[in-house]
Amino acid sequence: MHARYEAIFAELEPPFAFVDLDAVATNAQDMLRRAEGKPIRVASKSVRCRALLRRFLELSGGFRGLLNLTLPEALWLHGQGFADQLVAYPWTGLAALRELAALTATAGDGAPAVMVDCVEHLELIERAVGLGGAPIRVCLDLDVGYWPLRGRLRFGPKRSPIRTPAAAGAMAAEIERRAGVRLVGVMAYEGQIAGLADNVPGRALENLVIRAIKRGSLRDVAERRGAMVAAVRRVGELEFVNGGGTGSISSTAAEPAVTEIAAGSGFYAPMLFQYYRSLRLAPAAGYALPVVRKPSPAIATALGGGYIASGATRADRQPVPVEPPGLRLDPREGAGEAQTPLLGGGAAGLRVGDRVYLRHAKAGELCERFNSLWLIEGDRIVDEVPTYRGEGKCFL
C-alpha cells in the first residue's frame, strides 16, 4: 500500500487528504448487503463533500436521501439540487426556520424535514411559519437508549425525552393538532449498538462489557421502537421510520418497524470502524503529512496532524499512522496541532521531506481540515473535489 500511495501521489506535496474510490465501492456493497433491501439514507456529516455525496447516492438504487446534521446545511444542499433530506438534530435558529418555511411554501414535500422531540420545538417552528403558512415537515425523534436495572444504568446517546409508546403517541397527537407542522417520519438512533466499538486493541475487558451491552440492548430496542412506532402510526401515516448507523445496519434492517437505515461512515471506513468485531470495511480515506524533523535517528516528526475525533477523549480517537509500516504515535505527545512525532521501526527509515500516511478516527471530521480531497482509482488520481470547507462552508 505504501508503494502504491507513493506512486499515485508522487507529484503532490503534503499535506493533503484523499479517498480511494475502489475501497468506497467495496464498502458500499457491504453496507447494501447488510441492509437486506432496505434503503440507506446517507449521513452527510460523515462525508462533508458535495461531490462525493452526489457520487454515493448514484452508486446504487439502495442509497436514497440525505440525513443532514444542521438545517443550514440542508438548505444549502437543496439549492444545489439535493432532494429527500432529513435534518437529524433539532434547529432553533429562527432565520433558517423562516427560510425553510418559505421553501416549504414553494417546494412542498420536496423541502427538508426537521427533527422535533418537544413542544418548544413546535412553537419555534410555528413562530417561523406564521399564520397561514405551509406546514413544515417534521420528524419525531425517539429515545431507544438501553436502561437496564430499571434505569439505574443508562447506555446510549442523550437525545430525545420520548422513550415510551404513551409519550410517542402524545407527541404525535400534539403535532397533529398544530397547523404549522406536519408529521412525516420517525427517527430512533440506537447509538449504544451502532456507535460503540467492541474490538479495540488492548481493551479486552471493556470489549466484553460492550458486547454484553449490545446483546442486551438488541431485543429492548426492537421491542420499544416497534411499540413507539405503532403508537405514532395510530395517530397518522408516516413516510418513513429511520434507524441505525454504519455499526448496526444488519440488526436495524431486521426490525419490521424500520423502513430505512442511516449510514455514512462506512464509505470512508475511518479507524473507529476498524474496532468493530462485526465489520470488515476497506480503508478508504486518509491523509499525508510531510516529515520535517529528525529529533533523533529513531524519531521522525511530521508537520501538523492533530486531528482528534470528537467524543470522549481516548487513545482510539487519535489518528493512526499507517504507511510506511511500523509507525506509532509518541504516547507522551500524541498527534499535535503543530507536529506529530512518530516512533517505531518505520521511523528510523524516514528522512526529512518524506511523506507519512495516516488514517483519521472519525469519518467526515477529516474534511474540516482540508479544502479538497484527491480521488483515486486503481493506480491513478481521477479527480480533486472540494470539501464543505473548500466551498467556504462551515455548518458546525
Mean pLDDT value of segment 40-49: 98
Please report the beta strands in 60-201, taking only residues with DSSP state E, as ranges in sequence order: 63-68, 85-87, 114-116, 136-142, 181-188
pLDDT tens track for 9-29: 999 999 999 999 999 999 999
Q: What is the pLDDT confidence band of residue 197, given thresholds at 50, 70 and 90?
A: confident
Fold exhibited by the domain 285-387: Lyase, Ornithine Decarboxylase; Chain A, domain 1 (2.40.37)
b/e map of 256-278 (b: 16 or more CB within 10 Å)?
Answer: ebbbbbbbbbbbbbbbbbbbbee
Residue 83 has pLDDT above 80, yes or no: yes
Share of the chain above pLDDT 70, in %: 100
Map out the domains of the chain as residue ranges: 69-263, 285-387
pLDDT for the residue numbered 382: 98
pLDDT tens track for 172-190: 999 999 999 999 999 999 9
Mean pLDDT value of segment 366-381: 97
Q: What is the pLDDT confidence band of residue 396, given thresholds at 50, 70 and 90?
A: confident
Q: Please say whether the beta carbons of 247 and 30 come within 8 A.
A: no
Q: Who wins on pLDDT, 336 or 61?
A: 336
Share of the chain above pLDDT 90, in %: 89
pLDDT for the residue numbered 259: 98
Picking from 340, 346, 349, the residue whose alpha carbon sits closest to that of residue 292 is 340
pLDDT for the residue numbered 356: 98
Output the CA–CA distances (angstroms, integers) from residue 219 to 7, 146, 214, 309, in the order listed: 49, 10, 9, 30
Mean pLDDT value of segment 79-90: 97
pLDDT tens track for 234-287: 999 999 999 999 999 999 999 999 999 999 999 999 998 888 988 899 999 999
pLDDT for the residue numbered 278: 87
Contacts 24+ apart (CB under 8 A), 290-294: 290/13, 290/14, 290/15, 290/353, 290/354, 290/355, 291/342, 291/350, 291/351, 291/352, 291/353, 291/354, 291/355, 291/356, 292/339, 292/352, 293/339, 293/352, 294/350, 294/351, 294/352
φ, ψ at 340 (rounded to 5°): -135, 100
Residue 39 and residue 44: Cα distance in Å, rounded?
15
Q: Dihedral of the CA atoms 196, 197, 202, 207 (nearest 10)?
A: 70
Residue 175 and residue 44: Cα distance in Å, rounded?
27
Residue 60 has pLDDT above 90, yes or no: no
Residue 196 has pLDDT above 90, yes or no: no
Fold exhibited by the domain 69-263: TIM Barrel (3.20.20)
pLDDT for the residue numbered 200: 87
> pTM score, two decimals?
0.94
What nine digits make up the cell of 199? 474490538
Q: What is the pLDDT confidence band of residue 151, given thresholds at 50, 70 and 90?
A: confident
Output the CA–CA distances (angstroms, integers) from residue 108 to 79, 140, 171, in the order listed: 14, 19, 23
pLDDT tens track for 291-342: 999 999 999 999 999 998 888 877 788 999 999 999 999 999 999 999 999 9
pLDDT tens track for 201-213: 888 999 999 999 9
Q: What is the pLDDT confidence band of residue 377, given thresholds at 50, 70 and 90?
A: very high
**Cα torsion angle, 311, 260, 64, 71, sign:** negative
- How confident is the prediction for the chain on average, in pLDDT? 95
pLDDT for the residue numbered 317: 85
